Structure 1
Amino acid sequence: MDCLFCAVVAGDVEVQRVYEDDAVLAFLDHRPLFPGHVLVIPRRHVETLTDLAAEEVGPYFRQVQRITVAVERGMDARGSFVAENNRVSQSVPHLHVHVVPRNPRDGLRGFFWPRGRYADAAEAAATAARVRDALPE
């Protein structure tokens, strides 16, 4: 397997490490949106959030939460943007959460894609039902 983030975990690619434990590694993004932009990855290779074992989700996101606090405090940020892609726009096929420090008028505008509206309440209800019906047991 040729995975950049697995190479980071192995120590074959040098990064600025922010935090690490047996399950998680957090490091500075080499192309940050703003200084202090951190990536949080599981050490074990999984491509997407849906591939992460159920028992790993809570511990992983507890560390994402801790890193978010650290980014906000460490960068004197008023808030943060926390995001994760599954497949589409996922630059490295290894689960990673972006934690980006945010401040008012920092130039980052809302979401990065066009937003729309549902035609009416019936369309919204039908869409909610489709998602609800697809929930795994």
Structure 2
Amino acid sequence: MACIFCEIVQGRIPCAQVYATDTIMAFLDIAPVRPGHVLVIPKAHYPTIEDIPTDLGNELLTAVQRISVAIRRAVDAQGLNVMMNNHRAAGQLVDHAHFHLIPRHEHDGLQLWPQSAYQTPEQMHKIADSIKAAIG
């Protein structure tokens, strides 16, 4: 099956585009969590954040920042969530890297995820050490 976001980039599927450069595109999500929910994607196909070249990642973050400010102004939001799901286990439904920009209002009832705690400080530090080692 073809990538739906690649089809949008190529103009084969219509979208409500809000931003575009040579390398980045942003458009309204067709199934928004809240009105003004925008998806920001690289135009080139990269499955997850792990696959995006650093230079393009920097461009994407700059676009996310700029569009976030615009969304808050446009829908008079008090806040905004920036989210990215990577891989199926994290809820990624489209295998094309994308950021979700979700405008938020006080008492909007949206709860994104429950919080928990580490069982012990030692467990927390062990996980931190494992991540540091994997970073190199």
TM-score by structure 1 length?
0.94
Cα distance in 2 between the residues matched to 1:19 and 1:86? 23
**How far apart, CA to CA, are the structure 2 residues paired with 1:131 and 1:108?**
30
Q: Which residue in the other structure is 2:132 paired with?
A: 132
Q: What's the counterpart of residue 107 of structure 1?
A: 109
Deviation of the 1:55 alpha carbon: 1.6
> 1:13-62: per-residue Cα shift (whole Å, max 9, x none)?
00100011101000000000111000000001001001000121111110
* Unpaired runs of at least 5, structure 1: none
Tell me the distance in 2 between the aligned counterparts of 1:54 and 1:18.
24
Q: Which amino acid aligns with 2:70?
A: A
Paired position in structure 1 for 2:33: 33
C-alpha deviation, 1:120, in angstroms: 1.2
Matches of 2:34 and 2:120 in 1, distance apart? 38
Measured against aligned partners, the alpha-carbon deviations of 1:101-132 in whole angstroms (never above 9, x if no partner) come to 101100112x33x4321111111111100111
Percent of matched pairs sharing the same residue: 39
Aligned partners of 2:15 and 2:7: how far apart in 1? 10
Q: CA deviation at 1:66?
A: 0.6
Unaligned runs of 5+ in 2: none
The residue that corresponds to 1:80 in the other structure is 80
Structure 1 residue 116 corresponds to structure 2 residue 113: no
Q: Name the count of aligned residue pairs.
A: 134
Counting only pairs closer than 5 Å after superposition, residues 33-112 of structure 1 correspond to structure 2 as: 33-88=33-88, 89-109=91-111, 111-112=112-113
CA distance in 2, matches of 1:132, 1:74: 40
Residues 51-103 of structure 1: CA deviation (Å, up to 9, x unaligned): 00012111111001111111111110011011001112111100010001101
Which stretches of structure 1, 4 residues or longer, exceed 4 Å deviation after superposition? none
